[in-house]
Amino acid sequence: MKLRILVVTLLGTAVALVPLPASAKGPTAIEITGPGFDEVLRLDRDSANTSHMQMLMETLYGPPPAYRAAPTEQLGPRYLVTFTMPWPEGDEAIRQHVYPFADGGPLVRTPRGQTLYGEEQASGWQRVDEPLDSLLVSLGAPAPPGADLEWLTYEDYEHGLSISYPPAWQPAASTVAPALIDPVIPLALGTYDFPTEGCGMAPGPALEALGAKDAFVAVYVGTGAVFGKTGFERPPRFSPDLPWRTGPGKCAENVQGTIRTLHFEVGEQRLMAMVAIGPEASPRRQETVYRILDTLTVASPSSPPAPAG
């Protein structure tokens, strides 16, 4: 099983639940099983980015299912998503069947006979227009041949950052270099399964795990003396031609490939982008590194949005 933390804030709704009691605060855990997952994929409130759970929670709220039967026979593989909901009398569970590669777009089925907090839940099928297929592929599901998958968005509300990436890339499974206080690394992505331990200010283990054809992107945020004002504003487009600083740096002496860092400012925010590219990375992969950075948005820090309901 490969656990990834990612955020897709656009996911639509699939089943209408009754208004939640004041004591209910959403699921404590979400589990996914299906093709591509050797074990249960579990997300809980200890996940590095709670917006990932927030996104999946959105499938619990909204209009009722639109179809009694599946609107297509070409459903593709099925995934079971189980939400564990807290309640003083004991945890309860709601299950949904997700068909991310169904003909005409992803489908979600809510089986009948389920209750939550004493109320029977609506059952049936619902078409979901948002990128459930990209989401499942990013989590480890195999993509059908020729699938045209949308990019996903990884979001950090605490620092007001978001960045988009292809489903073949993997967001950090937990906070990178968690011992850091200032600067911190709220966003990190790679084309490989990278560790998140830190070494000084560097994500050394992640960089040393870089394969010859791999690439890695991290975004730092600093507020103290370590990141002084540079006067260099965020470029309109990222490219290799910018004034990157090149070198392995501390705790990354054994990295195969090139490491570059670039300090820049967005308003009062002081940031640094780090990219690492393996020596055999394809030109397309190298281009994707800078396309990912182009999607970086910087806004005011905020709290994750509460689910509708």
- Give the class (CATH, top level) of 152-298: alpha beta
Q: Report the pLDDT averaged over residues 132-155.
A: 83
Quickly state the pLDDT bin for 143 (edges 50, 70, 90).
confident
Q: Is the pLDDT of residue 11 over 70?
A: no
The token pair at 108 is 């979600």
- What is the predicted pLDDT for the residue at 73? 94
Domains of the chain, by residue range, sit at 29-139, 152-298
Q: Report the pLDDT averaged over residues 24-45.
A: 83
Q: Is the pLDDT of residue 53 over 90?
A: no
Q: Report the pLDDT averaged over residues 168-197.
A: 88
- What is the predicted pLDDT for the residue at 220? 93
Quickly state the pLDDT bin for 23 (edges 50, 70, 90).
very low
Quickly state the pLDDT bin for 259 (edges 50, 70, 90).
very high
**How far is the C-alpha of 259 from the C-alpha of 190, rounded, in Å?**
13
Q: Is the pLDDT of residue 46 over 80?
A: no
Residues 223-230: contacts with CB under 8 Å, at least 24 apart: 223/182, 223/183, 223/270, 224/182, 224/183, 226/182, 226/183, 226/201, 227/182, 227/183, 227/263, 227/270, 227/271, 227/272, 228/270, 229/265, 229/270, 230/263, 230/264, 230/265, 230/270
- What is the predicted pLDDT for the residue at 132? 79
Residue with the bigger pLDDT between 274 and 168: it is 274
Does the predicted model carry a pTM greater than 0.75?
no
| Listed range (140-149, 232-241, 245-254) with the worst mean pLDDT | 245-254
Quickly state the pLDDT bin for 54 (edges 50, 70, 90).
low
Q: Report the pLDDT averaged over residues 295-304.
A: 77
Quickly state the pLDDT bin for 58 (edges 50, 70, 90).
low
Q: Report the pLDDT averaged over residues 69-78.
A: 94
Q: Is the pLDDT of residue 3 over 70?
A: no
**How far is the C-alpha of 26 from the C-alpha of 201, rounded, in Å?**
35
What percentage of the chain carries pLDDT values higher than 90?
Answer: 36
- What is the predicted pLDDT for the residue at 241? 95
- What is the predicted pLDDT for the residue at 18? 43
